Amino acid sequence: MSAPDLDPGFDEDDRGGAPLTNRLIDQVMPEELDWVELVRAYPIPALAVAAAAGFYLGRVHGERLVDAAREITDRRLRETADRFTAAAEEALG
């Protein structure tokens, strides 16, 4: 199963949709499992499972995750710099 092609840079989509984390979890969890209600009913075990999953992902895929975060950050910085440069050129003539 390949990772979904979603940009974690924004928590919500432009249309005010579900937060990215909810959409990612919905793609992984079975449809009949209401994971939101499960987390509300059992917050401490849910936190423990999330911490264990985060630890595992960090140990196994840590380098890839850091590389992905760096690529996203670099892209966002380039986009921001390009917009700033375009706005400055427009303002200055």
Phi and psi angles of residue 7, each rounded to the nearest 5 degrees, phi first? -90, 110
pLDDT tens figures, 1-55: 444 444 444 444 455 567 887 788 888 888 888 888 989 999 999 999 999 999 9
**CA 1 to CA 28: how far, in whole Å?**
10
pLDDT tens figures, 54-75: 999 899 999 998 999 999 999 9
pLDDT score for 46? 93
Termini Cα distance of the chain = 50
Q: Is 46 exposed, middle or buried (0-12, 13-18, 19+ CB in 10 A)?
A: middle
- Does the pTM surpass 0.85? The reply is no
User: Domain locations in the chain?
Assistant: 6-41, 42-93
31-40 long-range CB contacts below 8 Å, 24 or more apart? none
Judge whether residue 91 has pLDDT over 60: yes
Judge whether residue 77 has pLDDT over 80: yes
